[in-house]
Structure 1
């Protein structure tokens, strides 16, 4: 058997794992053995990543991380494809090949294809209709459906979500039992229009039950004892989604990091936690919900490898992650609901400025209306003792029932 070829994101994750282990006091040789490669391979990876980082700095950007390495390769392939398309095809041929490949038999399909073409290539409606053979009046005419079409579609989607292995015929029988007078052909038409399909292969899912990760059962006792992670979603002015990853220290209530991007996955979670582990040491537990970004095997194995423990809350129980949910509500109420972000860069600047204000200036009611930053409040080393100079500044610990 040949040697395993590591993906770029796996290489960067292993390099960052070695950085964390070295920062904890281990030697480079021990840290390299823990990731399962030779020292020659490790230093070769470091050299290649240094070349990529140097090229990025020449362009005025910071060093690349895991998702950025993968994105760079994707952009190189995309640029090569676009250069070939621009040199060989005219705009009309490009539209016919990308947006109207094959036959578009129905006006509805042509209408969706023209909308996709206008959004992707930034062309006018007149030009797109002329290329794809759609009359402009047909394009502008809004189809009239039945009055109960929306309600029936919602019920079909709800039943398909609940019974994932049922086809449209069985869904039709359930609808009739629920009181709908509908035949299988109409259900099939809605079924195909909404893209519903019974998958051939059903993936197996592992459930994380009774992990004792509730903030009631696992209480923070000192700084860096329990950290919480959670996602918040918002949108920019153009309607595009914006994801925000928050990491807080439950004992000090400090917001340790906020990561803002269009898409955030398990790789982004590893990147954010890596920087925090190096700067602030490894915490005892990392609490989160059962989202796919947190329960991914790569994230759980990586957290265990650096010496921390995962604390997953019960499914559909956000109250068990109360500290982070409270922070998310403050972020949404005080910033996200009152700001219009015109770009991703503006959102990053404004949200990071709010994080600094939250840590250093905003009064926190559970801390005696003091800010949660460590330079503002220094916590006692003993659990039940408090120095005389901080006895009046700190409010009593809240009792959660």
Structure 2
């Protein structure tokens, strides 16, 4: 939205660079009445003094209205807050406010424990760093029926194509799930991943934005993985992360009892 003062400045600028264009035409282009040229402002000296005060306070910094009012009143106590606010807004000192884009949320999708294997998987990302500072990501996949870890992929970056490649390897080993529960990360909302789900007849079970409790089973798995591996070791290479993770997955699936599985391991619960 352009204020009257900003239109006035634009008209003055256009007349300066295009002196051959008439004032009437410039006003018509800018959507401004020609009579405004002959209007005499009632308080120009007062506004000019306060405008100069605000300019001196701002300098090259970017300050919001509240901070400007406080600083101007400290240095120029003769000006009131309402005067400073009026001039601050009228003469274009206001900061640009970016409009918030409306984001449509997903409907509530409470979690439930499946009654059979490969009925519903869950996926989520984690991140950590090597000793030299370079970061890496992990893609964790579990079967929510028996809490079995189906695989953890470790890469520097994890685009949708890498997610699909790893999923295909896991499906080849464990079979295809009916649905996959994920959050709303860009890797999962991408057209490439959604097309792959549709072509493979796999349901995308998306949780609500900002509701990780709707993916609670893998969130609990992530906590265990972070405590046992990511927080417990100092990594010097991705190969080291992969080796330690592979050993840990074997122990997690075959040796570690789960209270939610009546203290059975995922392998024992799957065989029962």
Smaller-chain TM-score bracket = 0.5 to 0.7
Contact 2:153/2:166 (8 A) holds in 1: yes
Contact 2:150/2:174 (8 A) holds in 1: no
Structure 2, unpaired ranges of 5+: 1-59, 73-95
Distance in 1 (CA, whole Å) between partners of 2:102 and 2:177 is 28
Give the corresponding residue for 2:64: 173
1:30-109 equivalent positions in 2, closer than 5 A = none
Contact 2:120/2:144 (8 A) holds in 1: yes
Contact 1:226/1:285 (8 A) holds in 2: yes
Shift of the alpha carbon at 1:206?
6.9
Gap change, CA 1:214 and 1:268, over 3 Å in 2: farther
Q: 3-state DSSP class of the match of 1:332?
A: helix
Distance in 1 (CA, whole Å) between partners of 2:193 and 2:166 is 11
Identify which of 259, 262, 268 aligns with 2:153: 259
Give the corresponding residue for 1:365: 259
1:341-360 equivalent positions in 2, closer than 5 A = 341-360=235-254
TM-score w.r.t. length of structure 2: 0.63
Gap change, CA 1:229 and 1:378, over 3 Å in 2: closer
Give the corresponding residue for 2:198: 304
Contact 1:247/1:257 (8 A) holds in 2: yes
Identify which of 184, 208, 214 aligns with 2:110: 214
Shift of the alpha carbon at 1:180?
7.0
Distance in 1 (CA, whole Å) between partners of 2:148 and 2:66 is 51
Contact 2:184/2:209 (8 A) holds in 1: yes
Give the corresponding residue for 1:108: none
Distance in 1 (CA, whole Å) between partners of 2:70 and 2:212 is 35
Distance in 1 (CA, whole Å) between partners of 2:146 and 2:223 is 18
Q: 3-state DSSP class of the match of 1:342?
A: coil
Shift of the alpha carbon at 1:279?
2.5
Gap change, CA 1:268 and 1:172, over 3 Å in 2: same
Give the corresponding residue for 1:242: 136
Contact 2:125/2:140 (8 A) holds in 1: yes
Bigger relative contact order (CA 8 A; separation at least 6):
2
1:181-196 equivalent positions in 2, closer than 5 A = 181=71
Q: 3-state DSSP class of the match of 1:248?
A: strand
Q: Computing the radius of gyration over CA atoms, which structure comes out larger, 1 or 2?
A: 2
Q: Give the count of matched residue pairs.
A: 189
TM-score w.r.t. length of structure 1: 0.43
Q: 3-state DSSP class of the match of 1:335?
A: helix
1:278-293 equivalent positions in 2, closer than 5 A = 278-293=172-187
Contact 2:146/2:270 (8 A) holds in 1: no
Q: 3-state DSSP class of the match of 2:123?
A: strand
Q: 3-state DSSP class of the match of 2:168?
A: helix
